[in-house]
Amino acid sequence: MRIDLHAHSTASDGTDSPAALTAEAAATGLDVVALTDHDTTAGWEAATAALPAGVTLVRGAELSGRWYGDEPTVGLHLLAYLFDPGHAPLVAELARVRRSREHRAENTVALLNADGIDVTVPEIRRYAAGGTIGRPHLAQALIRRGLVATVDEAFKPEWLGRRYRLAKTDIDVFTAVRLVNDAGGVTVLAHPRASGRGHIVPDTLIAELAAAGLWGVEADHTDHSAADRARTRLLARDLGLRVTGSSDYHGTNKTVRLGAFTTDPLVYQDMISTATGAAPVTGS
């Protein structure tokens, strides 16, 4: 059984539509794929409707979390699975973060404009195609102007990585864990040691999150070295957290392929028997 619990569609910053993502899951020979767009459940319906026979969809999201207990604050990504998408407090927080992403995109465009780079907000919105706006959409504008060649290059410090990097108002990570649990879902801390994506999440913070109801941690991820993976597994064992592996597929916005990393079927069984907010759906 091949299970990939982390993938993005055009509902956020992936390049496959939700339907195309499920087709790709079937073509890659996955049995289970999770749709985890940033701060939105907008792709759930289309992915469910298009599900190929034999492929099981785990509906989820990747929440933009932040720990405000230190200076500078620590940004972290929290995967949330099988929660009730109608849970009002969670819906409100997701909407607030999506608005913050819009504002960040507008302010980043203003910064670029001030340096004579003529990108526009409507253009960025067009690349987002109605989905959650992310920095890869800003990267597309830089690529089209020949300023950079790839999304990875656009994320370097001289571009969106630092010079044109602005903060968004994320969800307090402890609030996020509580809201997802209240909505019947389970939470997994995404790529905690992926230093290229921001800060490494301190072990002490992961321990506090485990005590606050975090369910699991993503160990096998393309941005983790072998040492990062081993260390994450050890920490998870000490803290009683489940361990997942997943591709974090973004279509052509990143080089990693769907199914490049997978999750143990026993961990998946544990997840679906724990979550009460939504059930996995299998295509017939």
Residue whose CB is nearest to Zn ion in the complex, by number:
77
Rounded Cα distance between 43 and 58, Å, is 12
Given the complex with Zn ion, which of 112 and 215 has the nearer CB atom? 215
Rounded Cα distance between 268 and 246, Å, is 12
Residues 34, 60: contact at Cβ < 8 Å?
yes
Side-chain-side CA neighbours of 221 within 13 Å: the count stands at: 27
Given the complex with Zn ion, which of 7 and 55 has the nearer CB atom? 7
CB of 48 to Zn ion, least distance (A): 20
CB of 146 to Zn ion, least distance (A): 28
CB of 4 to Zn ion, least distance (A): 12
Q: Which amino acid is at 65?
A: G
| Bridge pairing between strands 186-189 and 74-81 | antiparallel
Given the complex with Zn ion, which of 31 and 62 has the nearer CB atom? 62
Residues 188, 163: contact at Cβ < 8 Å?
no
Given the complex with Zn ion, which of 77 and 242 has the nearer CB atom? 77
Residues 216, 224: contact at Cβ < 8 Å?
no
Rounded Cα distance between 150 and 164, Å, is 16
Given the complex with Zn ion, which of 119 and 219 has the nearer CB atom? 219
CB of 211 to Zn ion, least distance (A): 23
Given the complex with Zn ion, which of 62 and 220 has the nearer CB atom? 62
Residues 259, 247: contact at Cβ < 8 Å?
yes
CB of 127 to Zn ion, least distance (A): 18
Which residue ranges make up the site for Zn ion (CB under 5 A)?
62, 77, 190, 248
Tokens of 195: 């230093």
Given the complex with Zn ion, which of 119 and 201 has the nearer CB atom? 201
CB of 132 to Zn ion, least distance (A): 12
Count of C-beta atoms within a 10 Å radius of residue 166: 14
CB of 117 to Zn ion, least distance (A): 26
CB of 183 to Zn ion, least distance (A): 20
Tokens of 156: 């370097």
Given the complex with Zn ion, which of 77 and 101 has the nearer CB atom? 77
Q: 72: cis peptide before it, omega within 30°?
A: yes
Paired with 245 in beta bridges are 220
- Answer positive or negative: Cα dihedral of 128, 218, 155, 176: positive
Residues 64, 168: contact at Cβ < 8 Å?
yes
